[in-house]
Amino acid sequence: HPSNLQMEGSSGLRRADCRAKGGVPGFKVAILGAAGGIGQPLALLMKMNPLVSVLHLYDVVNAPGVTADVSHMDTGAVVRGFLGQPQLENALTGMDLVIIPAGVPRKPGMTRDDLFKINAGIVKTLAEGIAKCCPNAIVNLISNPVNSTVPIAAEVFKKAGTFDPKKLLGVTTLDVVRANTFVAEVLGVDPREVSVPVVGGHAGVTILPLLSQVNPPCSFTPEEINALTDRIQNGGTEVVEAKAGVGSATLSMAYAAAKFADACLRGMRGDAGIVECSFVTSQVTELPFFATKVRLGRTGVEEIFPLGPLNEYERTGLEKAKKELAGSIQKGVSFIRN
Ligand code: NAD
Ligand code: LMR
């Protein structure tokens, strides 16, 4: 495709495209929404990932510029850009992992659900492309409201007859990243040494940090638990307000998405013991989707871990989370079914 060639950022003098033919072992990864606030730094981070051999950057605007820019990095992955709906199928064909940060972000005063109107349709279109062109790819869905967009993608895949619940993952890593950071701050330790499970979903009270299960084991006062839970649940709003109308978290999100995608790729390679929190098809609660710790392997989600022992505070939080989640999930399902 001539415009794709142009967008490879190549001089046209390459002697043999051995890398693109599989000369470098690794996975083929697409980012949909690659020119956005998350997409651009995520493209940078995925170009730096040695497990990536081919990186496809798709957006409805500015994909050529981002592609030319990222393609000059002297790392292994071959970068190709794809602009606009007519190039979606080329962007997706052959991909092993598809990361989706496409869609509008919040402004102050909005909830994530306020984004449903625009983002539901975007995710539907992109999921239809995946079902058609790379039905076996693992999908990392970032676009908000995640609590509804994951059910939307699942329904699209079911309709197409391609749904594999092990391969559809809502990205909630930023909640874990924030929880690790804020807990480490309170404890006065290095955040890299802290691991906080965050379960439920990705919006307000559905974000449920399990502070009784922090690793390494530690204890908090009731005031600390209240303050930490509140800050973790409203971390996104903290950024939206600080950015004052210009958008929501992009840099910490790109970091979180790259961390999660790398875990998926290491699992796909066959590494043992890769465990991350993610919003997936689940039987941990009565809801059809729920975020918990999952084990990632060659085929995607290979094991879903139970919630573990919860204290009274967390049990109350869980009931609140489930109530809101049920509505958000149903809204996503209905968008495709009706
Ligand atoms: P942004 O507006 O900066 O970028 C979004 C990009 O998506 C733009 O480049 C836009 O052109 C592109 N886009 C729009 N429609 C598209 C389509 N049909 N196909 C392909 N690309 C399309 O927004 P952002 O800050 O990068 O945020 C993107 C989304 O991620 C938002 O919905 C935001 O709420 C969400 N988000 C989720 C998390 C999370 O933790 N899961 C964290 C932060 C942001
Ligand atoms: C976040 O948690 O930062 C994202 O979901 C973006 C938002 O709207 O808060």
ipTM of the complex: 0.99
> 176: buried, middle or exposed (CB in 10 Å: 19+, 13-18, 0-12)?
buried
Alpha-carbon distances of 316 from 200, 205, 280, rounded to whole Å? 13, 11, 22
Per-residue model confidence as pLDDT tens digits over 73-89: 999 999 999 999 999 99
Whether 206 is in the pocket of ligand 2, judged by its Cβ within 6 Å, is no
pTM of the model: 0.96
- Tell me the best of 107, 144, 207 to mutate to test the pocket of ligand 1, counting ligand atoms within 8 Å of each CB and taking the most: 144
The CB density around residue 60, as the number of other CB atoms within 10 Å, is 17
Per-residue model confidence as pLDDT tens digits over 8-65: 656 666 675 544 444 557 999 999 999 999 999 999 999 999 999 999 999 999 999 9
- Distance in Å from the first CA to the final CA of the chain: 37
pLDDT band of 3, cuts 50, 70, 90: very low
Per-residue model confidence as pLDDT tens digits over 143-196: 999 999 999 999 999 999 999 999 999 999 999 999 999 999 999 999 999 999
Distance 105 CA to ligand 2 centre (A): 8
What mean pLDDT is predicted for residues 104-121? Answer: 97
Instruction: Give the pLDDT of residue 16.
Output: 57
**What 8-state DSSP symbol labels residue 322?**
H
| Residue nearest atom 4 of ligand 2, based on CA coordinates | 236
pLDDT band of 304, cuts 50, 70, 90: very high
Q: Which residue has the tokens 């509505």?
A: 327
pLDDT band of 1, cuts 50, 70, 90: very low
- Tell me the best of 114, 144, 182, 328 to mutate to test the pocket of ligand 2, counting ligand atoms within 8 Å of each CB and taking the most: 144
**Helix segments in the chain, DSSP class H:** 2-7, 39-47, 63-71, 88-92, 116-133, 146-160, 173-187, 222-233, 235-243, 251-269, 312-337
Q: Which residue has the tokens 């496809």?
A: 56
Share the mean pLDDT of the chain: 95
pLDDT at residue 258 above 50?
Answer: yes
pLDDT band of 5, cuts 50, 70, 90: very low
What ligand 1 atom has the least distance to the C-alpha of 106?
34
What ligand 1 atom has the least distance to the C-alpha of 61?
11
Distance 136 CA to ligand 1 centre (A): 23
Instruction: Give the pLDDT of residue 325.
Output: 98
What ligand 2 atom has the least distance to the C-alpha of 175?
2
Ligand located closest to 119 CA: 1
Distance 94 CA to ligand 2 centre (A): 30
pLDDT band of 6, cuts 50, 70, 90: very low
**What 8-state DSSP symbol labels residue 191?**
G
- Tell me the best of 62, 104, 238 to mutate to test the pocket of ligand 1, counting ligand atoms within 8 Å of each CB and taking the most: 104
Residues 129, 172, 145, 119, CA torsion sign? negative
What mean pLDDT is predicted for residues 306-310? Answer: 98
Instruction: Give the pLDDT of residue 7.
Output: 60
Instruction: Give the pLDDT of residue 233.
Output: 98
Distance 324 CA to ligand 1 centre (A): 23
Enumerate the active-site residues.
Answer: 202
Amino acid at 220: F
What mean pLDDT is predicted for residues 125-140? Answer: 98
Instruction: Decide: 82 and 55 in contact? Cβ < 8 Å.
Output: no
pLDDT band of 2, cuts 50, 70, 90: very low
What mean pLDDT is predicted for residues 122-146? Answer: 98
Distance 85 CA to ligand 1 centre (A): 16
